[in-house]
Amino acid sequence: MAARRRPDEPLGDEALLSGLAVNDPDAATAFVRRFQGKVFGAALAMTGERELAEEVAQQAFERAWRHARMYDARRGPVQAWLLTITRNLAIDQVRARRRRASEGAGAVEQLASLARGPEMEAVASDSGARLRRALAALPPEQSRALVLAAFRGFSAAEVAEAEGVPLGTAKTRLRAAMSKLRASLASQGVGP
């Protein structure tokens, strides 16, 4: 017999997304309230501008609403799906802007901040703490390559140009960084 939700028990993420898909206003409101901090935070981390981050975050919720029926729970949790949408939209924006302004400044500081993380989160999430440790252990050149790609939308060729290294070196650094993080996740049973 299926377990029933208590009246005071909040709806799950997937249930809210289903409500969003069928234009349930209460579900839509709850969905936005639940995820707006993470979505706006991710958008802000990538764009560095609150105004632009809000536009990205609004677009992300609009896209989530439009494509809610396409969500496949087998691929991952709702939050990860929503953050993927956010990242893609933010990459569009930072790439368009980068054509006019030099970017990349602050990349190392951003990674250091991520690696430290809020103390509360580090305590609350063991998996997050382990990933942070893996981030902190990356060699500086791999850290920069990773942050430039993940948070500034740089391709390996653009990383190579920014760092003054050959394309192959930039690709190697990026791949090495990602592989190390993957290993840290694998050791905690995350990932395929």
Partner 1 sequence: MSPMSEPMSPMGEMDCDGLRDSAAELALGVLSGADRARALMHLEHCLDCQKEVDSLSTVGDALFELVPPVEPPVGFESRVAARLQAPDARAPSRSRRPGTGPWWRRAWVPVAAGVALVLAAGGGGWAIGSSTQVPSASPAAKASVSWASFHSPARRGDLGEVFISWGRPVWVFMTVDLGQGSGVVGCFLVEQGGQEVQVGSVNLVRGFGYWGAAVQAPLWKVTGARIVASDGRTLATASFR
Q: Which of residues 101-130 bind partner 1 (CB under 8 A)?
A: 114, 117-118, 121, 127-128
Residue closer to partner 1, measured from CB, 57 or 107: 57
Least distance in angstroms from the C-beta of 26 to partner 1: 11
Structure tokens belonging to residue 144: 């920069």
DSSP type of residue 147: H
Binders of partner 1 in range 21-60 (CB under 8 A): 25, 28-29, 32-33, 36-38, 40-42, 44-45, 50, 53-54, 57-58
DSSP type of residue 27: H
Measured in Å, how far apart are the chain's first and last C-alpha atoms?
30
- Decide if residue 133 touches partner 1 (CB under 8 A): no
Handedness of CA 168, 172, 173, 175 (dihedral sign): positive
Count of Cβ atoms closer than 10 Å to residue 49 Cβ: 15
Residue closer to partner 1, measured from CB, 16 or 85: 85
Residue closer to partner 1, measured from CB, 5 or 124: 124
Residue closer to partner 1, measured from CB, 5 or 168: 168
Structure tokens belonging to residue 84: 């993927």
